[in-house]
Structure 1
Amino acid sequence: MNLKAKIGADLSFTRNELRETDEFLSTITSIFISAKYFGLPSYGGVLAHCYGITLFLLLAALEAGAVWKIILVLGVAATDGRGLVARLSGCVFYGNALLSLILTWRFISSWKCISVLWTLAETTGGLYFPPDLKIKRRVIIVTCNFIICAIVEHVMSMISATGLDIPPEEYFDRYILSSHGFLLKPEEYNIWLGIVIFVLSKLATILWNFQDLIIILISMGLTSRYRRLNKFVDDFVRLEKRHKEKAKLGTELYAQVLTWRRLREAYVRQATLVRKVDQKLGKLILLCNLNNFYFICLQLFLGLNQNSNMGVINKSYYFYSLGWLLFRACSVVLVAADVNLHSKKALSCLYCCPGSAYNVEIKRLENQLTYDFVALSGMRFFFLDRQLFLEVAAAIVKYELVMIQYDNQ
């Protein structure tokens, strides 16, 4: 069998197999469709959009109230004994929910355009890459685990806020006054206001977790695409090694060079796709990382200054909540950093290509992968790579040391 026929037999795939690569797009679209139930109506109708606008207005009113309470504390007009840290935390929490609603809504609305570009990157170029048959299952597993861990953390926070020794009829009132004491005094509380705040707090928690989940899932899809491209390069280099002793002339030489050119163009399309996603997702990445950084620092600071006589329930919640925060923040950075890592992994395969098969298209692909920096970013203020993970960890440690020193003065 000649090289041209071998390429077709070893590295081409049928149209039916190619359709399986669309499972990632359809799975993500299904998740975005379900998001209309917690205020993200891009795939919903008129009622879903009215629901999203109402949620936006209520969150804006709640955030305005939290900001006003901070102003009162700064003006020494508050007398309820609540510190600035508690009020600031509530303000940041609902501010994040408000911004997350806006940015996530915008990203989901742009998903149809991104899906078209994603599909073109998959189907254009004449090369059919092996489908990632496990990507749908991985997305579902990650989403389900994310939901379960988030529910457990929130239930523990509710138990920690009230304790277990409370009559059921008093639970709701105590929970609202305890968890939202930065916003309400006991004399300002009524049951209807409590119900509204209760619902908004749950939706704000969902939005907080969902913004992290979106970044993780989209990064998984981009990495999967790079992994498939890299596997194709690896297989093709192995094929070149098996035929390195055979001279290639005419049609065979043209087929070889054409395949490498199409591979290089596939990497160009993939880099373009990553930059398009980064353009739409960058603001959400920036918000997500800033928010996670703030709450990790806050939890560590409160843990270092907490009372040693805390009950078992409060201690369990503190450690689980801190662990969940750290896990989410690390997952966002590390999974997104895989996009940058896999964008250059094919270089090691290209360096092993035999000299008899080396051509100008391989050289161009090497230069392209070496000098073209591809990564997701937070509006290009920072890029999500492995180095960022260490930089953030060092910043958290320095922040805690400064806060401890300041607190001891």
Structure 2
Amino acid sequence: MKSMHQCPKDEFLCTIAVIFNAARWLGVPKRGGNTAMCLSVVILFMLLGLEFTAIWKLIRAFGGWAVVKGSTTARLSGAIFYGNALFSHLLSWKFISSWEDLSLHWTKIEIAEVIRLPQDVQIKKRMTIVTCFVATCALLEHVLSMMAATGLNCPPAEYFQQYILSSHGFLIHKWEYNLWIAVPIFFLSKVATILWNFQDLMIILISMGLTSRYHRLNSCVKRVIKSEKRKGKQGKFGTEKYAEVQTWRRLREAYVRQAELVRRVDGNLGALILLSNLNNLYFICLQLFLGINNEQGPPINRIYYFLSLSWLIFRACSVVLVAADIHTHSRSALPLLHACPCNVYNVEISRLKTQLTYDFVAIKGMGLFALDRKLLLEVAAVILKYELVLIQFDK
């Protein structure tokens, strides 16, 4: 067995640790550090107070105790947006706090591998590109949302008030406007937007790390089969056959450890996956509904609507597709095993084929659904049905 000092540095674990450490200054909670912890607690209580206020005003609107402008669907969106931020904050806190144990388990698996797996030298670069891309697109989308909320002709002196009243009309009216109220709302709107994008980014990055390990295992299987095919024409003695069987046994055990790692990560990430997919599904439906009901408007609003909807769909699809790669790569070695020549076939290869065929490995939304590629078609059908319900309900 390799010692800790002999194990090569895992680029994925190092990169994700840097991202988690940097994210705590954006309002995403991180265990350790009094300043960051205090900031997280303050944001949590502020989100809790804002969400209770939004729900209370929604109840007053439904009960007819207050006059609120906008459709029924528009009244719900604000409460759901900040409700997602509140739960995302709590679930992100829980997951990042558990990441120390998960990363330790991840490192132990790397050390325990008797088979020398090829290193994924590009994982850090891919993670950095994805993080920068998500941050850039989220920033551009949010800037456009601020421009669309006030219009391009808003006087600079009135911009802040106009933005708050336009984007948070479900929460504050013109006669209730006060700078001491507007500034915290403005701050929390940015935090909620960051949390929304960060929860999807976190799922994507963790999925990339798990997929990378499966890719390395599959590459090792391919390399072993190629080596055995090359030696297959030569006669083999008992010790050589025994060594081959032991190699395949170690590979099979590596796949067992990898499947256990996926399930352990899924146990901590499942609630965040469920929240992310439900929230993305609702806001895709909402954006489509608002686009159908508001065909006319200033050019900046139409540009924002198109780009916002495109970014939301792209991000939601990316979460599903990148996470679905875990399930796809968990079975990628099967064609290689089926193509094994008879002269290299042994009992451990047979066991590995059975294991990969019948062991369903995927990350799930708290066991309610698995993230695989067919989920996209199911979600598309749900969006179509829900859109018809929204149109009928909002009449």
Alignment of 1:238-257 (within 5 A): 238-257=226-245
Count of matched residue positions in the alignment of Structure 1 and Structure 2: 394
Q: Offset of 1:18 from its aligned partner?
A: 5.2
8 Å Cα contact 1:114-1:277 kept in structure 2: yes
Contiguous gaps of at least 5 residues in structure 1: 1-12
Pair 1:48-2:36 in alignment: yes
| Aligned-partner Cα distance in 1 for 2:166–2:289 | 20
**1:19 alignment partner, SS class:** coil
**1:110 alignment partner, SS class:** helix
Q: Residue 19 of structure 1 is aligned with which of 8, 14, 18? A: 8
**2:8 alignment partner, SS class:** helix
Alignment of 1:175-186 (within 5 A): 175-186=163-174
8 Å Cα contact 1:18-1:128 kept in structure 2: no
8 Å Cα contact 2:68-2:170 kept in structure 1: no
Which residue matches 1:194? Answer: 182
Pair 1:344-2:338 in alignment: no
| Aligned-partner Cα distance in 1 for 2:88–2:338 | 44
Q: Offset of 1:16 from its aligned partner?
A: 9.1
| Aligned-partner Cα distance in 1 for 2:127–2:271 | 23
Q: Offset of 1:35 from its aligned partner?
A: 1.7
| Aligned-partner Cα distance in 1 for 2:381–2:364 | 19
Which residue matches 2:350? Answer: 363
Pair 1:379-2:366 in alignment: yes
Aligned Cα root-mean-square deviation (Å) = 1.7
Q: Offset of 1:251 from its aligned partner?
A: 2.3
Name the amino acid aligned to 1:342. Answer: H
Deviations 1:167-218 (A, max 9, x none): 1111001100110010001111101111110001000100000000000000
Q: Residue 140 of structure 1 is aligned with which of 128, 146, 155? A: 128
| Aligned-partner Cα distance in 2 for 1:355–1:267 | 23
Identity of aligned residues (%): 58
Alignment of 1:1-400 (within 5 A): 19-20=8-9, 22-306=10-294, 308-400=295-387
Name the amino acid aligned to 1:246. Answer: Q
Q: Offset of 1:404 from its aligned partner?
A: 3.3
Q: Offset of 1:220 from its aligned partner?
A: 0.5
| Aligned-partner Cα distance in 2 for 1:198–1:97 | 14
| Aligned-partner Cα distance in 2 for 1:17–1:23 | 15
| Aligned-partner Cα distance in 1 for 2:73–2:93 | 30
| Aligned-partner Cα distance in 1 for 2:69–2:204 | 40
Name the amino acid aligned to 1:176. Answer: I
Name the amino acid aligned to 1:107. Answer: F
| Aligned-partner Cα distance in 2 for 1:164–1:310 | 13
**2:317 alignment partner, SS class:** helix
| Aligned-partner Cα distance in 1 for 2:296–2:376 | 34
8 Å Cα contact 2:72-2:394 kept in structure 1: no
Q: TM-score under structure 2 normalisation?
A: 0.97
Name the amino acid aligned to 1:311. Answer: P
Q: TM-score under structure 1 normalisation?
A: 0.93
